[in-house]
Amino acid sequence: MMFVQRFTFGFNISDTKTITHGIAIYTDPPNNNACVTGKGPTFVCNVRNSRMTPPLPANAPGGSGVRLTNLDANRLDWDDKLTIEFLNDRPRICAIEIVKADNLPTVFLAGDSTVTDQPREPGASWGQMLPAFFKPDVAVANYAASGQTLKSFITDLRLDKLLSQMKPGDWLFLQFGHNDEKSNWPQTYVEPFTTHKAYLRAMISEARLRGATPVLITPMERRGGIEGNTHGEFPASIMDTAREENVPVIDLWSMSKKLYAAMGDQVGEAFADPTHHRNYGAYELSKCIVQGIKDNRLRLADHIVDDFGRFDPAHPDPFASFRMPASAGRMGTGGGAAPKSPARRTGPDYQD
């Protein structure tokens, strides 16, 4: 289910910079106490639940809902509610208009924890940042989840739920690899160039069957692979599949290596741990994705915000100029500033 929200803030909207970050809206109010009604930023939000229509007849395989795991516990992804957070120094709201909008084109995201909406500061993903770069005429539905692989995304019925919501004109962005490559996970491991390609082809075919456009994305490199390769042959296997299936591909693996190298001494500010990212890193990676949309000349590029321009990963935004207020709702302890040091985070939220 998609909704369009129109927010009117208690200050001059024309002087306001608004960034969407997952479920949060950050605003920079000027020194103006006037309450201006009837105008304001508009954005689109996907709201969903884990329920599915039970398969018929009763003995048919399947299920009545997504098989949620402990990694999904206490998260807002599946609660069928719209949760909004207003942050910054003086967030003031005059009015909110919420309108159902079921017929907008939707960008569905499928992937692991490097794509999902991370629930706690300082973690974030490029999928979490992506809505900031689209006009309010397209929705982003982030179905990615921590710990997922190509196989588990199917067996947990996450793909079935996603496909049940898909319509002609939609998009399916696929970024897997961090967990699929783990041979010590024998139930979900896939081999590059063989079973890996087979599972990618299955998802590509399911999207095309419903009139949607699949897009493959190579997994971004880990911090330890800036001058090497921690993903082995998986990026090449994805690139091969894209060529063979005539599918658009965004080579985030190559782009991320350029990005990290260009960050130099500031690269630590991009990472929450050796694999996952903080707000700054996630925002820059999301810019890589948007530039990949433009480079592929996808029709989706028509929905990118007008002021995006062009992004070169070899010239990232300096960390000193990046500002994003910490989400009080994502701190887990009731608020406060996000840690400034990129301390390693562990636990289920940071499983690949």
User: How do residues 223-279 score in pLDDT, each as one tens digit?
Assistant: 999 999 999 999 999 999 999 999 999 999 999 999 999 999 999 999 999 999 999
* pLDDT for res 352: 59
Q: For residue 343, give the 3-state DSSP assignment.
A: coil
Q: Is 28 left (phi over 0), alpha (psi -120 to 50) or beta?
A: beta
Residue 58 has pLDDT above 80, yes or no: yes
327 is catalytic: no
Catalytic residue among 181, 206, 269, 284: 269
pLDDT exceeds cutoff 50 at 88: yes
CA 161, CA 22: separation in Å to the nearest integer?
20
113 is catalytic: yes
At residue 253, the pLDDT reads 98
23 pLDDT higher than 50:
no
pLDDT the model gives residue 79: 86
- pLDDT score at 6: 47
Fold observed for domain 104-321+336-350: Rossmann fold (3.40.50)
The whole-angstrom separation of Cα 147 and Cα 112 is 6
Q: Among the residues of the chain, which ranges form H helices?
A: 126-129, 150-155, 158-165, 195-209, 234-245, 252-263, 279-295
Of the candidates 116, 78, 88, 101, the residue with the CA atom closest to the CA atom of residue 25 = 88
Query: Which one of the listed residues 196, 231, 276, 277 is annotated catalytic?
Result: 276
Give the mean pLDDT of 203-210.
98
- Cβ atoms < 10 Å from Cβ of 322: 17
Instruction: Name the active-site residue from 113, 125, 146, 286.
Output: 113
Say what the pTM is.
0.87
* The pLDDT of residue 69 is above 70: yes
Residue 115 confidence (pLDDT) = 98
Among this protein's residues, is 269 annotated catalytic?
yes
